[in-house]
A and B are shown apart, each in its own frame.
Chain A
Amino acid sequence: MRVLWLHCRARSAPAVLLGMLVVTLLAWWLADWLVHQSYAQGPLARRSVVVLAPVLAAALVSVSLAGADDELERSTAWRWRRIRTVHVTIATVVCSAALTLTALWEPARYGAYELVRNTVACVGMAAVAACVLGAGLAWVPVLGYAAVVFVVGGTPAPDSAWWTWPVQLSDVPGAWWAAGVWWSVGTVLYGLLGARVTPDRGV
């Protein structure tokens, strides 16, 4: 238990959980506010929440993808591959569960289903980015990609789901497949390689 707590503390888990609580409350408030605007199209008005909240969740998770000194950590006799894989899996489950609670009303129309899908995909993308750019910059591709798709994607056709998954509705299988692929690739890569060690230290 003590080792588990030390690992969580080294990866800023308490701060990440606190951040996740703030993101969840903000997502719930923003979704409620958007739905009650005079120009809102019912549950579909939550489109921006469905894109932004998972991005913030993934950014929070990215903080925990590296410790204060990764090189030192890796020199210890622990099964780091297994620990890293379990770490990403638990982080995905916790974030998805938290965001799901904010959109149980009309879950299939920019609601809980899309939040789960996008959280899974964004965490996977952040894990891939952590391996390539380092944990400090892992949020950049996630935020950049989501922003571009959100603006350019418009009302996308289902056959473009492989790249417009952040703005697709939950009944498009291609978007779920894309999310699954991102998460699988991210988890496997991060599990095998860990976050890239960069010169940036601390906050």
Chain B
Amino acid sequence: MTRLLRIELRRSVALVLFVATAVGGTAMMFNDTEQWVGRWSGLAVYLRTALVVLVPIVLAAAAWQGGRERRRRMDELLSTVPRPRPQLVLVRWGVVSAGVVAGCVVVWLVCAAFVAPVATYSGGGWWWLTLVAVVAVAAAAAVGLTLGQVLPWRLAAPVIGVAGYAGIGLLSFAGDSGRMWLSPVLPSHVVGEILPASASALQAAWFAGLGVSALTLAGARKRKVVAAPAAMTLAIGAVIVVGPGDERWTEDAAAAEQVCTGDVVDVCATRQMGFLLDDFVAATGETVQRLSRVPGAPRRILVNANSEARWSASDPVRIGLERYVDWRGGLSMTDAWGYRLRDELATAVLPPTQGCADWPAPDRDLAVVSVVAQLWAGATGDAAGADAEVLARYQRFADRPEAAQARWMQRYYEAARNCDAAALPALKRDLA
């Protein structure tokens, strides 16, 4: 048996598949590090996202493997050997599965090396999501092998691979319904949500059923033997399809717990994003210090992953940091599109005035008040829309004593919160 395994390992696509999975999977993961770095659950979810490419690759490679005997015209010869057919099928599947699972393990280990040093939250049931990924790729290997063996086409492998890709895409992205859970990909995950273990168990049972049915079809002498596992798998599939779609995700209360600095302006992060708190405080300390001296300015800033993450309703100032996470789990000052964190913070800590009907933003003469407030809150001149004249005016304002700046900003906050446009001329006069 060991000899057989060794020969299969050398002669099958297992080693190629191992390299393809390890390299392709790692490339995919590092193409979008901000989605997972620093978060165990993010890593598990994004590994499942990577399956949108890895599973079709496994399907195609396994189908190629499944058609090997026919291509070499050895199928009749092999059918005469005394070794039981199920054993041959299991060995072939075992070797191909071992190759792809080992590739996935390499991907996970490489990524885990970037998560482990910085992660501040290890809950979220991420191991269930990872386990289902392993079951899914092993099932894909079984389905691919069987289809490659059953379909006598020269192009069975690429057709099965592309069909697998299209099938996963249709199941995963065709709207909110139970069908999405038939796919190994998790398309609708929002940071701060958790998938109950029962949902993962159901998915694992579905993929395991697919794999067992496929292997039975490939290995059994009589095809009707496949009826029992196929019926069981269809039943599990039916339970998944009639079940909820997005609603299977529930809030991860532990991940949403807040870790705070406890200063006058309390900067808090969810436990999941807590690994960025120190970097954030260091990067925005000047603005936070200034806010602490202004009566009426926000006293609490919450950082989370992104605008889609679950926020607490009582958080007045919310900053989504996912775009600013660099590939090592640190905080970058600019995102991939060139937007600056300090500009985003400045916008977030000032009262929104878009809803104020009389707030004279187009009135350049009075708009200088808002621009100076943004510059004071840390925005860069470009983002605030300040020309040289306004910058000079702001510089004179910044040279004033801190208490005087704080008093002016207090009046600005009051005016902006109340949409009191009548206060703007006085604020502008005081800038002179």
- Chain A: interface secondary structure? helix
Which of A56, A201, A203 is packed against the most chain B CB atoms within 10 Å? A203
Contacting pair B28 A201 (CB below 8 A): no
- A59 to chain B: which residues have CB within 8 Å? 155, 158-159
Contacting pair B27 A143 (CB below 8 A): no
- A38 to chain B: which residues have CB within 8 Å? 175
Contacting pair A143 B161 (CB below 8 A): yes
* Given A56-B162, A202-B70; A152-B31 close (CB under 8 Å): yes
8 A Cβ contacts from A117-142 to B: 136, 139
A202 to B166, CA, bound (A): 27
Number of A-B contacts (CB under 8 A): 62
The distance from the CB of B133 to the nearest CB of chain A, in whole angstroms, is 17
The proximity string for A residues 34-70 relative to B, scoring 1 for CB distances below 8 Å and 0 otherwise, is: 0001100000000010001001100110010000000
* Given A56-B162, A148-B27, A152-B31; A139-B56 close (CB under 8 Å): no
Query: Is A147 positioned at the interface, with any CB of B under 8 Å from its CB?
Result: yes
The proximity string for A residues 162-183 relative to B, scoring 1 for CB distances below 8 Å and 0 otherwise, is: 0000000000000000000000
Contacting pair A151 B53 (CB below 8 A): yes
User: A52 is contacted by which of B67, B73, B152, B162 (Cβ under 8 Å)?
Assistant: B162
- A201 to chain B: which residues have CB within 8 Å? 71-73
Query: Is A19 positioned at the interface, with any CB of B under 8 Å from its CB?
Result: yes
Contacting pair B159 A56 (CB below 8 A): yes
- B60 to chain A: which residues have CB within 8 Å? 143
Contacting pair A139 B27 (CB below 8 A): no
Least CB separation from A12: chain B residue:
B154
Query: Is B57 positioned at the interface, with any CB of A under 8 Å from its CB?
Result: yes
A63 to B20, CA, bound (A): 24
Which of A19, A38, A59 is packed against the most chain B CB atoms within 10 Å? A59
A198 to B31, CA, bound (A): 36
Contacting pair B166 A30 (CB below 8 A): yes
Contacting pair A203 B162 (CB below 8 A): no
User: B71 is contacted by which of A144, A147, A152, A203 (Cβ under 8 Å)?
Assistant: A203
A148 to B152, CA, bound (A): 28
Query: Is B406 positioned at the interface, with any CB of A under 8 Å from its CB?
Result: no
Contacting pair B155 A152 (CB below 8 A): no
The distance from the CB of B18 to the nearest CB of chain A, in whole angstroms, is 15
Could you show 5 A-B contacts with beta carbons less than 8 Å apart?
A: A52-B166, A56-B158, A60-B155, A139-B155, A202-B73
Given contacts A200-B71, A203-B67, A203-B154, 18 further A-B contacts (CB under 8 A): A30-B166, A48-B169, A52-B166, A63-B154, A136-B154, A139-B157, A139-B158, A143-B162, A144-B57, A147-B53, A147-B56, A147-B165, A151-B28, A154-B31, A201-B73, A202-B70, A203-B70, A203-B152
